[in-house]
Amino acid sequence: MRVRFFSLGCKANQADSGSMAELLRLRGHEVVPERDDGPCDAVIVNTCAVTATAERKSRTAIRALRAAHPAAILAVCGCLPEAANLLSFPGTALIGDAKDRLGFIDKLEVLATNRPHTNHCPLSIVNCQFLPSAMADGRTRAYIKIQDGCDNRCTYCVIPRTRGPARSLPMPEVLERARRLRDQGCPELVLTGIEIASYPELDSLVPALSRELPDTRLRLGSLEPRCLTGPFVARLAEAATLCPHFHISLQSGCDRTLRRMGRRYTAAQYLDALARVRDRFPGAAVTTDLICGFPGETDGDWAETLRLIRQAAFAQMHIFPYSRRPGTPADTLPDQLTRAQKKARAAEAAEAAHAMTAAYRAAQAGRTLSVLFETEADGRCFGHSENYLPVSVPASNLRGQVRAVRIVGAGEVLLGEVEG
């Protein structure tokens, strides 16, 4: 069976798709690259439903892939089916969820043999499931999903319902997967999950991986500010191969709004966590998420958030107008803001974010950064620095290599020269 994947949403979804693809390969099937539009026997759409926009994009992708591959089995999994109670969808042969990926692949193989014409209902919930980790075709970094699910119950979020409770992959298994990926020639590993701050041994795992794989770069997925205590950050700093790029979720810079969101920190605590990271990792890139226009957010609340994000000087921000999600407590809160209000606040935040991003990139001029090269085109090689900035150099045949690059120009892409 020739199978094509199409993944939307977070890095955990990308890791899930990579794991399902590896499972299919181990069972003797062929997985074609995502950009391959050639004929295939099955198309798997791994969906996202964290916002209304993400849900709309998922539905659009399903329709487009049905039209592009009319003879293929169309299988849908991820967060959309459970978030939207999606028991069927026109043209689909199989609908799963974000929990039982093994059962989903089992049923896909049955469909490939029997080719029925009726949809299948969502799969049963399983408590803990981590499929094999693998490098995706054509990629220079790999994801290891060390954790899944979330127990935080933020008032705006559907993820605890779609992903289930928090559970973690034991450290010995993480180390074993990392060694296998290193042996495959992977130069960079990303530790990802839905809420990796809940991983019980994260501050021990990262230094252990760095010692075990001294020639492999490590990256962390999104972190909660409350986990970034002094001892925790000090332990992370022991990992010589950890990239100085930290995504620390914010969502709001106003204490009143944070309480209504169900977030478990204050604005001051967030800034303290930020200071601890920057003290141990000078010059690190700190990125974040921001929700604009949460129900009941006043002009004064919003002004507090703007003051905090400007003080924080993020390297990049992911900005989302608040999106109502049916079944969440925030959906029923009074004082819902209008679409125009949310859009205006998102635009104001984006303006501030653009200035901060430009300033951070400009500050890289004259620095020497470690760059992992990923692609090549028109006599130039492109990659990402350790602080996850895009870099371009005039060179060839560098794909998969990590090289020291002196930055000579700053813009949307940093311009550099390979040293040595």
Query: For 131-137, what is the mean pLDDT?
Result: 62
| Domain ranges, residue 46 | 2-114
Statement: residue 137 has pLDDT above 70: no
Q: Is residue 136 part of a domain?
A: no
Classified as helix, coil or strand, 94 is: strand
> What was the pLDDT predicted at 321?
97
Give the pLDDT band (50/70/90) at residue 22.
confident
pTM for this predicted structure: 0.89
| Long-range contacts of the stretch 134-138 (C-beta < 8 A, 24+) | 134/18, 134/19, 134/21, 134/22, 134/25, 134/181, 134/184, 135/18, 135/181, 135/184, 135/185, 135/186, 136/14, 136/17, 136/18, 136/21, 137/31, 137/33, 138/33
Residue 88 pLDDT > 80: no
Q: What is the pLDDT of residue 397?
A: 96
Task: State mean pLDDT over 14-38.
Answer: 87
Which residue, of 346, 362, 378, is where some domain finishes?
362
The answer to whether residue 22 is domain-embedded is yes
For residue 72, the 8-state DSSP code is S
Same domain, 210 and 82: no
Same structural domain for residues 243 and 340?
Answer: yes
> What per-residue confidence (pLDDT) applies to 35?
75
40-67 pLDDT tens trace: 999 999 999 999 999 999 999 999 999 9
Residues 48 and 63 in one domain: yes
Closest C-alpha among 178, 257, 175, 258 to residue 224 = 258
Transcribe 219-240 into DSSP letters: EE--B-GGG--HHHHHHHHT-T
pLDDT at 118: 44
Q: Over range 6-12, report the average pLDDT.
A: 92
- The verdict on residue 272 lying in a domain is yes
Residue 308 has pLDDT above 60, yes or no: yes
pLDDT over 70 at 391, yes or no: yes
Indicate whether 322 and 191 sit together in one domain.
Answer: yes
| pLDDT beyond 90 at 312 | yes
- Do 100 and 236 share a structural domain? no
Question: Does a structural domain hold residue 396?
Answer: yes
- pLDDT value of residue 140: 86
pLDDT, averaged across the chain: 92
Pull the structure tokens for residue 120. Answer: 């299948």
How confident is the model at residue 101, as a pLDDT? 84
Lowest mean pLDDT segment, chosen from 14-23, 30-39, 111-120, 224-233: 111-120
Q: Indicate if the pLDDT at residue 34 is higher than 80.
A: no
- 199 with 294, same domain: the answer is yes
Residue 324 maps to a domain: yes
pLDDT of 264 over the 70 cut = yes
Q: What is the pLDDT of residue 126?
A: 44
Q: Total structural domains in the chain?
A: 3
Instruction: Note whether residue 124 is domain-resident.
Output: no
Averaged pLDDT, 64-74: 93
Q: Are residues 314 and 299 in the same domain?
A: yes
- Quote the pLDDT of residue 2: 94
| pLDDT, position 335 | 97
pLDDT at residue 282 tops 70: yes
pLDDT in tens, 163-205: 889 999 999 999 999 999 999 899 999 999 999 999 999 999 9
> Are 205 and 75 in the same domain?
no
**Is the predicted pLDDT of residue 231 greater than 60, yes or no?**
yes
Which CATH number goes with the domain that contains 164? 3.80.30.20
Q: What is the pLDDT of residues 98-126, one digit of tens each?
A: 778 888 898 899 888 875 544 544 444 44
The verdict on 105 and 245 lying in the same domain is no
Give the pLDDT confidence score for residue 86 in this predicted structure: 77
Give the pLDDT of residue 130.
67
Among candidate residues 71, 98, 114, the one where a domain is terminated = 114
Burial of 339 per CB tally in 10 Å (0-12, 13-18, 19+): exposed
Look at residue 130 and tell me if it is in a domain: no
CATH number of the structural domain spanning residue 405: 2.40.50
For residue 106, what is the domain's CATH number? Answer: 3.40.50.12160
Can you state the angle between helices 299-312 and 339-362, rounded to 10 degrees?
10
Residues 321 and 297 in one domain: yes
Concatenating the DSSP letter of every residue in 131-155 gives PPP-PPTT-SEEEEE-EE------T
Query: Based on the domain organization, do 258 and 178 belong to the same domain?
Result: yes
Instruction: Please report, for residues 64, 90, 92, 130, 186, the alpha-carbon distance to residue 5 in angstroms, rounded to integers and kept in the order given.
Output: 13, 19, 14, 18, 21
Under DSSP, the state recorded for 85 is T
**133 domain residue, yes or no:** no
User: Looking at the structure, do residues 90 and 41 belong to the same domain, yes or no?
Assistant: yes
